[in-house]
């Protein structure tokens, strides 16, 4: 939960960098650009991959920016909260028993994979829910209705 946005940034950035590099290298190989000047082609691929991955990662992190809300324990039960999580498209990560922080992952097609995980921590008076703004707001609306 701590440094989750930074971890997402690094993972997404490496993923986009690698995929862009591989796909561009394959295209350059098919089109014959490596035959002319391989060093320049590799430098071009790496430079463009770095720019693309940085911009695309920033766009995704801004699009799925994160927030947290506090839902009073007396307003909703844990079972009802889990049911609401399933309705918005998040499933509890398997292998978790009653831990301090429960982790939910997106389940496409209801929730986009790039949205990231939702963390729920139960304190004495509140459920602290941390996740993407668009998904957490849906839970906030349900909480305000008194579900």
Give the pairing of strands 101-106 and 90-92. Answer: antiparallel
Question: What is the per-residue pLDDT for 111?
Answer: 83
Position 146 pLDDT exceeds 70? no
Q: Taking residues 96-108, report their average pLDDT.
A: 82
Tell me the whole-structure pTM to 2 decimals: 0.76
Residue 109 has pLDDT above 90, yes or no: no
Nearest to residue 86, comparing CAs of 105, 100, 73, 60? Answer: 105
Tell whether the model's pLDDT for residue 110 goes beyond 70. Answer: yes
Beta bridge partners of 121: 101, 128
What is the average pLDDT across 17-42? Answer: 92
User: Domain residues of the chain, as ranges?
Assistant: 4-63, 66-144
Q: What average pLDDT does this structure show over 78-95?
A: 88
Residue 37's pLDDT is 87
**What SS3 state is found at 102?**
strand
């Amino acid at each position: 939960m701590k440094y989750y946005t930074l971890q997402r940034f690094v993972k997404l950035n490496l993923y986009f960098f690698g995929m862009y590099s591989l796909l561009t290298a394959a295209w350059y190989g098919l089109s014959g650009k490596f035959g002319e000047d391989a060093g320049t082609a590799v430098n071009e691929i790496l430079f463009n991959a770095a720019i693309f991955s940085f911009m695309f990662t920033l766009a995704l992190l801004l699009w799925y920016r994160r927030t947290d809300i506090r839902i009073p324990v007396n307003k909703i039960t844990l079972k009802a909260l889990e049911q609401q999580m399933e309705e918005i498209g998040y499933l509890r990560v398997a292998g978790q028993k009653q831990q301090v922080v429960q982790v939910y992952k997106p389940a496409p097609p209801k929730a986009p994979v790039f949205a990231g995980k939702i963390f729920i921590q139960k304190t004495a008076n509140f459920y602290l829910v941390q996740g993407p703004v668009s998904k957490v707001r849906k839970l906030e609306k349900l909480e305000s209705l008194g579900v």
